[in-house]
Structure 1
Amino acid sequence: MEFPDGTVNYEAFGAIGDGVADDLPAICKAHDYANENGLSVKTKPEATYHLGKQAL
């Protein structure tokens, strides 16, 4: 994967952001990738990410 602007987004790793689908695995993958590659993570303001039993 390439992120020329230096930011990773959750959707690139499979997150849906609809407040229903469990996005936790994709969020973890995105942060792992960002940390390993010195990138930052940017979320979509219109998305609601569901983390198992809790929506953020």
Structure 2
Amino acid sequence: MAWKQDRAEIKRLMAARPDPDGKKNCDSQEAKAVNDQLNRKLAEQPVWRRGRFLYES
């Protein structure tokens, strides 16, 4: 099941973000790379699944 692998990858990427809430204005190369990879992975998901990742508590 590919969606389970995608879900695990997205959760891993979300945990790996150096500045998850954006309050520290972290513009490092690492932060940009992780955010780009996360955005690419989220864009591959259907809209309803994307919202679930972004807004679940």
Q: TM-score, normalised by structure 2?
A: 0.40
Structure (1/2) with the larger helix percentage:
2
**Going by fraction, where is strand more abundant, 1 or 2?**
1
TM-score, structure 1 as length reference: 0.41
Q: Which has the higher contact order (CA 8 A, sep 6+)?
A: 1
* Structure with greater Cα Rg: 2
